[in-house]
C-alpha cells in the first residue's frame, strides 16, 4: 500500500515505538513528586526536553511540551500578544499559514485586535520586502511558517526574522512541517512543532519561547511546563516524540536527497502523463517529500477515491473534498488551479517502486473521473447578443470549467463566453483554466445569482 500523506501525519517511527513502550513502565508517575517513581519520571521528562531542545537549537528551559501542535500555536500566539499588549494589538500572518495560526488571528481580531495578511507569490512564498512593509509601530507579533503544509514551499524565515529583529517585533515560526528535516534558521523568537509530523506519537506538541521575549500565558495558571501548558505531562509520548525527532534528524540529510529525487520524478512526469495538469509550489525551495498538482476537469474527491481503490492514500486542497465547499486557502492565495488537486507527501523510507506504480495508476484514475463527469447538458448554453452564456448555477467545480472548455470553440476568435456560477471555486479555477489554455480571462461581474465570469477566446 502507498501511504503518501505524511504531511498530514507521518507513520510512527520504529524508534518512537520502542521509546514509547520502554517508558510506559518508567514514566507513569507524577514527575513533580520527590519519591523514587516521581524522580524516575522527572529524569525521563528532563532528558526528553534536553534532546528536543538540542534538535530545535534552543535552551532546554525555553521549551515546553503541549498536548498538540495546534495547542502550541494557540498558546504561543495568545501569550506573545498578551505579553506585548502595551506595544499594540497588531498581528501579522502570511496568507498561507496553517489553520491553527489563522484561527488564532481570527480570535485576536474578534477581540478587537488588528490583523494583516501578507500575500504570497504564485509559488506560495512571501516576499521579505513585502512582509517588512507590514511591520508597524504597534505590531505586537509576526507569524511565518517555515514550510507550507499543502504545497511544500519553504519560506524565507531568516530574512523575515532579520526584518522583525530590526523592528523590535518577535517572530513566531510554525515549524511543524520542517522540524524533522533541520533546525529553523534565523533569529526567530517563538517556535512551534508537532510530533506526529515527524513520526512521533500524536498528542505531543512543543512550544519554544526565547529568553527575553515578553510572554504572558493566558487562561488559568498551572505549575507544570513553566505555566504554559496545563495538565499532567504524557511522559511516555513525550519521550517517544523526542527520541523520534533525534532519530529522523540522524537520517534526514541522506533521506532528503532520496525523497527529493522521487518527488522531482513526480513533478516532471505528471504533466507528461496527464493532460491539463499543473504542478504547483516552488520547484526548488520546498520540502523534500512534498509535491502538489492539480488536474483540469477533475473532481478532487472522486480522484482521491479512485486512487484509494488503487491502494494510494493522498490528500487534496480541492473544494469538493472539504466541508466548507471552498477551495484551499493556500491554493486560493497562490492563485493556482484548485480543481483535481492532489498532494503527495512521501514518508521516510517510501519505496521507489511505489512511486513508479503511482505514476502508472494516476493517468487512468484521472481519465476515469473525467469520463464519469461527462459532457455538459446542452440546454445550459444560450446566446445573449454576441456572448455565449453557460449557466452552471448550482453545479460544483469542475463542472463549470468543463462546460466552459466544451463551448469555447463555438465562439469566434475574439468572442466572449459568460459562465454563470455560484461555486466559490470557480473564482479561482476559471482564471487558472484561461492561463493554462491560452485564453483571456476578462474578469468577474455580479449576476442575479452567483457571479458571471467572462472569458475571451484568443485561439
Give dist(CA 382, CA 418) in Å, integer: 10
Show Cβ contacts of residue 166 under 8 Å, excluding neighbours closer than 6 positions. Answer: none
Rounded CA-CA distance 183/119 in Å is: 25
Q: Exactly one of 143, 320, 397, 434 is catalytic; which is it?
A: 320
CA distance 117 to 176: 20
Q: Whole-angstrom Cα distance, residue 444 to residue 126? A: 26
- What does the alpha-carbon distance between residue 91 and residue 335 come to, in Å, rounded to a whole number? 24
Strand 387-391 with 381-384, pairing:
antiparallel
Quick check: bond before 398 cis, omega within 30?
A: yes
320 assigned to active site: yes
Catalytic residue numbers read 320
Amino acid at each position: 500500500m502507498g501511504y503518501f500523506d505524511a504531511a498530514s501525519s507521518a507513520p510512527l517511527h520504529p524508534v518512537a515505538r520502542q521509546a514509547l513502550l520502554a517508558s510506559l513502565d518508567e514514566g507513569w508517575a507524577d514527575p513533580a513528586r520527590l519519591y523514587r517513581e516521581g524522580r524516575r519520571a522527572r529524569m525521563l521528562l528532563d532528558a526528553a526536553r534536553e534532546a528536543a531542545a538540542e534538535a530545535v537549537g534552543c535552551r532546554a528551559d525555553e521549551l515546553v511540551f503541549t498536548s498538540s501542535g495546534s495547542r502550541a500555536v494557540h498558546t504561543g500566539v495568545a501569550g506573545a500578544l498578551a505579553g506585548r499588549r502595551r506595544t499594540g494589538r497588531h498581528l501579522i500572518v502570511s496568507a498561507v499559514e496553517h489553520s491553527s495560526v489563522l484561527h488564532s488571528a481570527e480570535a485576536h481580531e474578534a477581540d478587537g485586535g488588528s490583523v494583516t495578511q501578507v500575500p504570497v507569490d504564485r509559488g506560495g512564498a512571501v516576499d521579505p520586502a513585502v512582509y517588512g512593509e507590514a511591520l508597524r509601530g504597534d505590531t505586537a507579533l509576526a507569524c511565518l511558517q517555515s514550510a507550507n503544509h499543502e504545497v511544500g514551499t519553504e519560506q524565507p524565515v531568516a530574512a523575515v526574522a532579520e526584518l522583525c529583529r530590526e523592528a523590535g517585533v518577535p517572530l513566531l515560526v510554525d515549524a511543524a512541517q520542517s522540524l524533522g528535516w533541520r533546525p529553523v534558521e534565523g533569529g526567530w523568537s517563538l517556535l512551534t512543532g508537532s510530533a506526529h509530523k515527524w513520526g512521533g506519537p500524536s498528542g505531543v506538541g512543543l512550544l519554544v519561547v526565547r529568553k527575553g521575549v515578553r510572554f504572558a500565558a493566558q487562561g488559568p495558571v498551572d505549575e507544570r511546563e513553566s505555566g504554559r501548558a496545563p495538565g499532567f505531562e504524557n511522559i511516555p509520548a513525550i519521550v517517544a516524540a523526542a527520541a523520534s525527532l533525534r532519530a529522523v534528524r540522524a537520517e534526514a540529510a541522506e533521506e532528503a536527497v532520496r525523497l527529493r529525487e522521487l518527488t522531482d520524478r513526480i513533478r516532471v512526469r505528471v504533466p507528461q502523463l496527464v493532460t491539463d495538469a499543473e504542478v504547483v509550489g516552488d520547484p526548488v525551495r520546498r520540502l523534500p517529500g512534498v509535491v502538489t498538482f492539480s488536474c483540469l476537469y477533475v473532481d478532487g474527491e472522486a480522484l482521491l477515491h479512485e486512487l484509494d481503490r488503487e491502494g494510494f492514500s493522498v490528500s487534496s486542497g480541492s473544494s469538493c473534498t472539504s466541508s466548507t465547499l471552498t477551495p484551499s486557502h493556500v491554493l486560493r492565495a497562490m492563485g493556482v488551479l484548485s480543481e483535481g488537486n492532489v498532494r503527495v507527501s512521501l514518508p521516510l523510507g517510501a519505496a521507489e517502486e511505489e512511486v513508479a506504480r503511482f505514476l502508472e495508476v494516476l493517468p487512468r484514475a484521472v481519465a476515469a473521473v473525467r469520463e464519469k463527469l461527462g459532457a455538459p447538458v446542452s440546454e445550459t448554453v444560450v446566446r445573449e447578443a454576441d456572448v455565449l452564456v453557460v449557466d452552471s448555477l448550482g453545479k460544483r467545480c469542475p463542472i463549470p470549467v468543463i462546460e466552459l472548455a466544451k463551448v469555447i470553440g463555438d465562439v469566434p476568435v475574439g468572442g466572449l463566453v459568460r459562465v454563470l456560477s455560484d461555486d466559490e471555486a470557480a473564482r479561482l479555477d476559471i482564471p487558472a483554466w484561461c492561463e493554462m489554455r491560452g485564453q483571456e480571462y476578462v474578469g468577474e461581474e455580479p449576476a442575479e445569482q452567483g457571479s458571471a465570469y467572462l472569458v475571451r477566446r484568443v485561439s
